């Protein structure tokens, strides 16, 4: 067990699988008391069980963050109560990824994706910040995406929501930083769990050919960046989007 987040409390949305789960596990491994949240109690229980088995502290709170202010406020209230009255760190990770073409996107899909990916974290942040300020400060880390800044021919709707989150990161840093709440973001690249030995190549691997990393990243790589931004080591970091993408957006990709 580490100590970089000792005595900190954290709420991580969408943390029953993949990147969110890795973040929750990394936070707990660094000493934080973590709220694991998501829509599936069975998966949440598995994450909490694993964290506790490793000596960490975690609790699960079921939440369907559909974009309503009520759902976000309810999760904030329950998380604060479970964590003993305060939330030191908020990670806005939960998201959905329908990727129809623009001409195939209906209004219901548009509203759902923006509800989950933008409205929910917007209202959750609004619900969490006042108590953070009252308790002396805190840290918020949003999850962006490399395709928010590097256009691809599919997934325009999802890309635009991540662009919104990166813009909110800078705006919130200006709004809340002077009140003691740091706001930053991590922009993941192509992230996949470790492939099984002898498994078939994933299509995402093709997108990383010619990058400095040359391969996809794992959820753990994102988690470590989030730990850094959430902790005291990043005390002078405000309004920054950290690219953890193997060089996909920052370096010219030379096709082999």
Q: How far apart are CA 172 and CA 182, in angstroms?
A: 8
Which of 158, 162, 165, 181 is an active site residue? 158
Counting Cα atoms < 13 Å in the Cβ hemisphere of 80 gives 16
CB atoms within 10 A of CB 178: 9
CB distance 189 to 146 below 8 Å: yes
Handedness of CA 5, 182, 10, 149 (dihedral sign): negative
CB distance 248 to 189 below 8 Å: yes
H helix intervals, 54-97: 69-82
Q: How far apart are CA 256 and CA 244, in angstroms?
A: 22
Based on the residue annotation, tell me whether 114 is a catalytic residue of this protein: no
Give burial (CB, 10 Å; 0-12/13-18/19+) of 119. Answer: buried
Catalytic residues: 158
């Amino acid at each position: 067990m580490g100590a970089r987040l000792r005595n900190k409390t954290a709420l991580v949305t969408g943390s029953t699988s993949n990147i969110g789960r890795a973040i929750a596990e990394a936070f707990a491994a660094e000493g934080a008391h973590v709220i694991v949240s998501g829509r599936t109690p069975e998966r949440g229980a598995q994450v909490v069980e694993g964290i506790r088995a490793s000596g960490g502290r975690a609790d699960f709170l079921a939440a369907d963050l559909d974009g309503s202010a009520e759902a976000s406020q309810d999760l904030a209230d329950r998380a604060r109560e479970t964590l003993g009255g305060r939330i030191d760190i908020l990670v806005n990770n939960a998201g959905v990824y329908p990727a129809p073409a623009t001409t195939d996107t209906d209004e219901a899909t548009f509203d759902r994706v923006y509800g989950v990916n933008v409205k929910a974290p917007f209202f959750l942040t609004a619900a969490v910040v006042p108590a953070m300020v009252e308790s002396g400060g805190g840290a918020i880390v949003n999850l962006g995406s490399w395709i928010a800044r590097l256009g691809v021919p599919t997934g325009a709707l999802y890309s635009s929501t991540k662009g919104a989150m990166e813009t909110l990161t800078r705006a919130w840093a200006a709004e809340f930083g002077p009140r003691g709440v740091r706001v930053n973001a991590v922009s993941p690249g192509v992230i996949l769990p470790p492939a099984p030995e002898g498994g078939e190549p994933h299509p995402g691997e093709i997108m990383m050919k010619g990058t400095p990393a040359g391969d996809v990243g794992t959820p753990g790589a994102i988690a470590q960046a989030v730990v850094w931004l959430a902790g005291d080591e990043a005390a002078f970091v405000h309004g920054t989007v950290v690219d953890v993408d193997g060089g996909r957006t920052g370096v010219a990709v030379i096709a082999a």
